[in-house]
Amino acid sequence: MRYAVLGTGVVGRTIAAKLASLGHQVTIGTRNPAATLARTEPDAMGTEPFADWHAAHPSVSLKPFAEAAASGETVVNTTAGDATLSVLNAAGSANLAGKVLIDVANPLDFSRGMPPSLNPVNTDSLAEQVQRAFPGARVVKTLNTMNCRVMVEPGRVAGEHHVFVSGDDTDAKAQVTKLLVSFGWPPSSVIDLGGIETARGAEMLLPIWLRLLGALGHTDFNFHIQGARQHVSQ
């Protein structure tokens, strides 16, 4: 399958590398490929320049957002939450229409410093904003409640733990569940929360996740829901 991964940060790179390792055709989207490849210094998080990563993953192509989105049968949004709508507008509604749009982003608000708050929160979610802005896309929220390495390698966390999916399109959620299973998630570990509005709950897990990170000092942890029995139908 052809995937477009929007965003060149560590989350986008990690998911793109996993998809490529599974034999998928992957294109990463960025605003300006030449500028992205020209950067020679690590970013603010210490992540290596994209050009260095790209040299180690030559099968993954790099294109502007619109070209990347047009090339993908499925689109994965890994951008920062405050940039998501701008990036998707650059990708183009016509290039998203009819496609599964996997939203991994979180609406983190750093305007008051650390730790960040959420905006929107409680009565809305980033995933709902995306679905409203691009009604032709089939938005599924998932994988936003864990570190990116755990997303694609759930065995990093010992024992049973869970990943959530939210969305209005049952077939889209089933497709995303199959992808999660290919990443190594047991079907019983995928919990369907319901419609896209349930993404509010998944996004609101981020404040406790960040505090757990501070308390534990590492990112190899996740949420286990005792008594969970349901998962997305396949």
Residue 221, pLDDT score: 98
pLDDT in tens, 168-180: 999 999 999 999 9
Residue 229, pLDDT score: 72
Domain boundaries, the chain: 2-216
pLDDT in tens, 137-166: 999 999 999 999 999 999 999 999 999 999
Q: What's the token pair of residue 154?
A: 């759930």
Q: Return the higher-pLDDT residue of 112 and 127.
A: 127
Lowest mean pLDDT among 16-25, 54-63, 113-122, 217-226: 113-122
Q: Are 158 and 120 in contact (CB under 8 A)?
A: no
Rounded to an integer, the average pLDDT of 85-113 is: 97
Q: What pTM value is reported for the model?
A: 0.96
Kindly indicate the confidence band of residue 43, based on its pLDDT and cuts at 50, 70 and 90: confident
Q: Is the pLDDT of residue 230 over 80?
A: no
HSE value, Cβ hemisphere, 13 Å, CA-based, for 45: 7
Residue 233, pLDDT score: 44
Identify residue 157 by its one-letter amino acid code. Answer: V
Q: Return the higher-pLDDT residue of 233 and 119.
A: 119
Q: Are 85 and 177 in contact (CB under 8 A)?
A: no
d(C-alpha 212, C-alpha 225), whole Å: 16
Kindly indicate the confidence band of residue 231, based on its pLDDT and cuts at 50, 70 and 90: low
pLDDT in tens, 58-98: 999 999 999 999 999 999 999 999 999 999 999 999 999 99
What's domain 2-216's architecture? 3-Layer(aba) Sandwich (3.40)
Number of residues that make up the chain: 234
Q: Is the pLDDT of residue 122 over 50?
A: yes
